[in-house]
Amino acid sequence: MGLIRIGDKVVDRDKIDRAIDRVFEMRQSGASQQEAADAIGIDRTFVSRLENLGEVRKGQRVALVGFPVGNKDEIEAIARRAGIDYVWLMNDVERWKYVRERSGVELLNDVVREIGGFQQYDAVIFLGSDLRVKLVEAILGHRAVGIVIGKSPIRSDVYVDPSRVEAVIEAVRGGERVK
C-alpha cells in the first residue's frame, strides 16, 4: 500500500492515483472537466490544474477521419498514441451499416453536424477515395489534410500504410514524432 504520513494524517497514495486515473479516463472519453470533477467529488479547477501540470503539448487540435479502413484498429492505435483529439474510422461493413441505419434526412443531418464539428479542429486528416478527399478539402479548406487510399468508388476495405499515417500526423504536428 502507498500510505504516507503528512503531519498528523495518513494519505493513501494509491487511492489518489486511482482517482487521477479515473479523471483522465473520463476526460479522454469526452467528459467535461466539471463532469469528471463531480464524479470523484473535487473542484473543476483541480481537474484543470492536473491537466496543466501534465501538459505536454498545446496548440493544434487534430481529427482523423476515414473509411473504409481495413486495418482500422491499428490506425486508431497510432492516432491515440499521437494524442489525436478525435478519431472516427470505419471499415466497409461499419460504413454501410451506418448508412443503412439512417433515413436520408438523418444521414444528411449527421454529415452536416460532423462537418460543422470539424471547424473546431486546426487540422482534419481524412482517409478516403480520391473524390471524397477532394470534397473534404473543398469544404474544410486549409484544415483538411487528405490521404487518398483509392480511386472512387472504393467498394471494400483498404489497408492503410501505418507509416504513412504516422508521417502525416508528424507533419501536421510540426515534426512532433508519434510515440
C-alpha cell at 17: 492515483
Q: Is the pLDDT of residue 13 over 50?
A: yes
Task: Count CA atoms closer than 13 A to 91's CA, side-chain side.
Answer: 10
Give 173's pLDDT tier (boundaries 50, 70, 90): confident
Domain boundaries, the chain: 3-54, 62-172
Q: Is the pLDDT of residue 69 over 60?
A: yes
> How many helical (H) and strand (E) elements, i.e. helices and strands, does the chain have?
8, 6
Distance CA 41, CA 39 (A): 6
What count of other Cβ atoms lies within 10 Å of the Cβ of residue 169?
Answer: 23
Q: Which amino acid is at 12?
A: D
> What is the per-residue pLDDT for 59?
59
CATH topology of domain 62-172: Rossmann fold (3.40.50)
121 within 8 A of 62, measured Cβ to Cβ: yes
Distance CA 62, CA 60 (A): 6
Average pLDDT on 34-58 reads 84
